[in-house]
Amino acid sequence: MDSEIVEEKLEQMKAMMNDFGADAWFIIDIEGRDPSLPLLVGGATSGRSVFAFDTEGRSVALTGWPDKGHVESFGIFDEVISIPGKGMDAMFLGLYEEWKPEKFLLNFSEMDNLCDGLSHGTYLWLGGLLGVEELEERALSSQPVLTQLRAVKSEAELQRVQGAIDHNLEIYQEVWDQLAAGMTEIQIQDLFRQAIDRRVPEGVMPQEGPLVLLPKAGMSHRKPTDAALAPGDLMVVDFGLGYRGYHSDIARTFYYLRPGEERAPDTILEAFAAIRGAISDAFDIMRPGVPGVEVDRVARQYLIDRGYPSIKHSVGHQIGQMVHDGGTSLRPLREGEELEDTGLLQEGELYTLEPTILEGELSFITEENVWISADGAERLHEWQTELWYIDG
């Protein structure tokens, strides 16, 4: 239970629900399935539970009797109701009749998995209780509210992400000093895992990470191989670090100097400079109100104008409780989408910037984390402005 974060988010929720035309919000969960629970409730139960909030500030939890004490320990609900001899059907209908919401929010979404916590079975259950017409007339997707609650970070959330970033960069520095010829991707990943465990046990994200990629062995989200580091190699490392429930996501590119080399070959340096230019141009236009697709377009076009292929993925994404934290992302328009469907940058959001070049052995990723302030974007850490060289 992370009461500090939940309390901050519930305060944000109270200020937002009226703006979205809803009188109540019903988070209906089974066995912790709903991804909004860590953000808005702080825990899960062993059976079906309803966590209800309204615009008057009331909060009620409906649970089975084994979970009553557990939910009371969360400390966020005005009332926790568990009535012996009555099932969830009767308890929910009683609350619904008492509140009589004109419109209410449910956690369903066609596009955002982090807003899609309502199972199809639970939707059918609600339709059976309320009637299909009632449900279709009054239920609204919580996506606009939940996306904003997840995206706009509180002060405590920002501090957690900053802690993850600081540890992430310390780990990079520690492992960089240990790299040597002949080490395999597997061995290098193990060095990172050891460094992570010393600082943030179980903090590596994703669980199979960090990604340690020698482009000569292929670039993708894959497990490390027995490919060995040698002079003349590029190496990409990409990982997010989990710290107190929040995440960084930073990638770095290394070059192993050949004997007699003082810097990488010109083709590598030119490609690296192009990546840095794309990141800088994207960063310069980031401010509240700018469409995420425009940030993507600027970075993507920067690389195309210099003869490099179009990026194969989004230029960036939000970070927070998840490494990919949903909501507005920095990506191109999808087929059939209009600009207004894609989302705008908002003050308080945290993003990565990661335009890449993926051309066989000439492959780069540097990934930086930024915060959107009222006036623009701000760096959250020192960026990689030069290749990180390995020498002997």
Average pLDDT of the residues in 68-89: 92
**Model pLDDT for residues 213-265, shown as the tens digit of each residue:** 999 999 888 899 999 999 999 999 999 999 999 999 999 999 999 999 999 99
pLDDT of residue 51: 97
Band of pLDDT at residue 206, cut at 50, 70 and 90: low
188 and 91 share a domain? no
220 and 92 share a domain? no
**Model pLDDT for residues 330-378, shown as the tens digit of each residue:** 999 888 877 776 799 999 999 999 999 999 999 999 999 999 999 999 9
Q: Tell me, what CATH number does 360's domain have?
A: 3.90.230.10
**Model pLDDT for residues 128-144, shown as the tens digit of each residue:** 999 999 999 999 999 99
80 and 197 share a domain? no
232 and 208 share a domain? yes
Residue 392 pLDDT > 80: no
pLDDT of residue 29: 94
211 and 70 share a domain? no
Residue 119 pLDDT > 80: yes
Percent residues over pLDDT 70 in the chain:
99
Percent residues over pLDDT 90 in the chain:
82
Average pLDDT of the residues in 84-98: 92
Which range among 15-19, 92-96, 386-390 shows the weakest confidence by mean pLDDT?
Answer: 15-19
pLDDT of residue 201: 84
Residue 282 pLDDT > 90: yes
Burial state string for 45-84 with b = 16 or more CB within 10 A and e = fewer than 16? beebbbbbbbbeeebbbbbbeebbebbeebebbeebbbee
pLDDT of residue 210: 94
189 and 171 share a domain? yes
Residue 233's nearest CA partner among 356, 362, 358 is: 362
266 and 124 share a domain? no
94 and 201 share a domain? no
264 and 279 share a domain? yes
Average pLDDT of the residues in 292-315: 95
Q: How many independent structural domains does the chain possess?
A: 2
272 and 312 share a domain? yes
Q: Tell me, what CATH number does 57's domain have?
A: 3.40.350.10
145 and 166 share a domain? no
Q: Which among 150, 185, 201 is the end of a domain?
A: 150
Average pLDDT of the residues in 89-109: 96
Q: Which among 150, 184, 205 is the end of a domain?
A: 150
pLDDT of residue 319: 97
pLDDT of residue 111: 83
Output the average pLDDT for the chain. 93
**Model pLDDT for residues 164-193, shown as the tens digit of each residue:** 999 999 999 999 999 999 999 999 999 999
Q: Please indicate whether residue 84 or residue 361 has the higher confidence score (pLDDT).
A: 361
pLDDT of residue 1: 53
Average pLDDT of the residues in 288-315: 95
Residue pair 244/217 in contact by the 8 Å Cβ criterion: no
Q: Tell me the whole-structure pTM to 2 decimals.
A: 0.89
Could you tell me the residue range of the domain that residue 176 belongs to? 152-390
Q: Which among 150, 177, 197 is the end of a domain?
A: 150
117 and 127 share a domain? yes
